Amino acid sequence: MRAERSAAAARTDLDPFAPPLHSRATAERLRLAFDGLPDPYLIATAARDQTGRIVDFRCVDANRAACEQIGSDLDDVLDRDVLDLVPDIDCAALHADCVRMVDEATRTGVFVPISADIPGADGRWFDVRVSTAGDGISVTWRDVSARRGSLHEVSRSERRFRLLAENASDLVYFADAAGRATWVAPTVTRSLGWSVDELIGSVITDLVHPDDWDVVAAIREVAATGDDVIALQPGAEHPVIARMRQRDGAYRWMSVSATRVHEQGSHSNSVVVGMRDVDELVHTQRLAERGTRDDLTGLVNRLSLIERMEQLLAESRRNGDQHAVLYCDVDYFKEINDTYGHAIGDDVLRRIATRIRSSVRERDVVARLGGDEFVVVLHGVRGPGDAEIVAEKIRSAMSEPLLVDGIDLACSFSIGVAMVRPDSTPDRVLRDADAALYEAKEAGRDRTVTHRQVATGT
C-alpha cells in the first residue's frame, strides 16, 4: 500500500520531473531521480477538518537526503506533520503562509512559492522553500551558512545573497554504463541552456572543462565500482565543483554529486548525477581571496603576510614560541627578463614559488612581495640554526636547473634570516631579514646570512 502511495506521490507531485507516467519503469526512474537529489525534499498532503479548513500537512513521501537529515526511515516519516520534520529549524511560523498558499492555489490555480531564511538552533542559517504539490505542499531546505559568511566577508548585502540563493538551480540526469545520458531533467535548459533532446544519448561529462577532468574520473569510478567517493556524495561537507560548458560556449561552476543505482527491470547499472549551480558563490569566494593572494603565483601577498605576522607575534607573546623569517631574492633575475622576455620570467617565478612551497611545512607561510622577492615565515623553530637549515634546503631546491619553454635556466638564491622577537613588529622583522639579505648579496650572492643582532643576542 505504501509503495502505491509513494508512486502516486512521485507521479503527481514532482513537478520538475513531471512527464506523464506510462510505465512502471518510468515511475521507478522518477523515484530514483527523487532520491538522487542532493537537497532534502518532503511531500505532504493537506489534512482538513469537517469544514474544509487545513489543520496540518501530513507527509506522504520523502527522498533519501531528507530521511538522512531527519535521522529516520521513510516509514517513520510518513503521516507526520511535515513542518515538524525539518531538523534543527523551527518552521511553525510558516504554517499559516502554507495554508494561504494552498488555499489560493485551489481557488485561483495560481500559487506563489514560499522562500525564507530561517536561523537554526545551532547558529546556522537555512534557506527553506515551500511549493504547492497537488492538494498539499513540497518542502526543501538547504544550509546556507557558508554562503552568508562568504558574502559577509566581501560586504555583500543580504539582498544580494537572496538573489544568489533564489537563482540557484539543480540539474539531475541518468547515465548508462558508457556514460551516455538516458534521462535529463528539464531544468538543464534553465541552468546550462541545453534542451533535453540535445543531451539525451550524449556523454554529458564531455561538457566538463578540461582542467576539471578529475571530476569526470571520479564519476566514472562511481559508475564502474559503485564505491563511494566521499566528495561526490549528496550533501558532502566539501563537495566537488567543476565548470560545465553552457550552450553558448561559456562555463558555469557546478557542484557535483554522483550515485550508482540499479533500475528495476534493467540488466545494467546507471549513475544518477546531480549538479547545483554555484557559479556566483565561487566567484564571490574568489573575489574575497583576490585581495590576499599574489595574482602571478597564488602565494600570499604583502597585505596578508603582514596580517599573519601580526597574529604570529601576538601568539608568540602569549606562549613564548620562536619563529623566523626568511627574505629570499633570485640572483640576477633581471638578466633572465632582459634575455628571454617577461613571459619566460613570469613562468620562472611561478616555478620558483612551487619549489619554495614544497621545501617548507604546510603550516609555514610563503609570500611574494613583488618582483623576485619572496618571504617565508617559519612557525615554531628552536633558534636561528633551524631557520638556516630550511634556508639551505630552499637554496638546494633552487640549484636544480629550471626547464622553461625548452630553455635550461640556472637560478640561485640569496637569503636573509631574522628571528621574530616578541617585542618587535612585522615591519621591523622584515627590515632585519632584508638587511641580512643585503649582506648576502654584498658578500657575493648565492648564500644565506642571519641578521647579526639576533645571531649575537644583542
Asked if 27 and 5 count as a contact pair (C-beta separation under 8 A), the reply is no
Domain coordinates in residue numbering, the chain: 2-142, 170-286, 292-456
Q: Are 37 and 272 in contact (CB under 8 A)?
A: no
SS3 label, residue 112: coil
pLDDT at 356: 92
Domain 2-142 indexed as CATH 3.30.420.40: no
Give pLDDT, residue 286.
65
Class (C level, CATH) for 292-456:
alpha beta
CB within 8 Å of 253: residues ≥ 6 apart: 241, 242, 243, 244, 277, 278, 279, 281, 282, 283
pLDDT (0 to 100) of residue 262: 63
CB 384 within 8 A of CB 417: yes
Amino acid of residue 277: D
The whole-number pLDDT of residue 233 equals: 52
Q: Does residue 31 contact residue 121 with C-beta atoms inside 8 Å?
A: no
Query: Residue 223: its pLDDT value, please?
Result: 73
Q: What distance in Å separates the CA atoms of residue 242 and residue 252, rounded to the nearest whole number?
A: 8
Topology alike, domains 2-142 and 170-286 = yes
How far is 452 from 447, CA to CA, in rounded Å? Answer: 15
Return d(Cα 27, Cα 11) in angstroms, integer.
Answer: 7
Q: What is the pLDDT along the chain (458 residues), one digit of tens a residue?
A: 444 444 444 444 444 444 444 456 777 777 788 888 888 888 899 999 998 898 888 998 899 988 988 888 989 989 988 878 876 666 767 788 888 888 888 888 777 788 887 777 777 788 888 888 778 888 888 888 776 665 555 444 444 333 333 333 467 888 888 888 888 888 788 888 899 899 999 988 889 888 888 888 888 877 777 665 544 554 444 467 888 899 999 888 888 888 877 655 555 677 888 888 888 777 776 665 556 778 888 888 888 888 888 888 888 888 888 899 999 998 888 888 888 888 888 888 998 999 999 999 988 999 998 888 999 999 888 889 999 999 999 999 888 888 888 788 888 889 999 998 878 888 899 999 999 999 999 899 889 999 875 343 33
Q: What is the pLDDT at residue 169?
A: 47
Check: CATH 1.20.1730.10 for 170-286? no
What's the rounded Cα separation, in Å, for the pair 79 and 72? 13
Grid coordinates representing 280 are 556566483
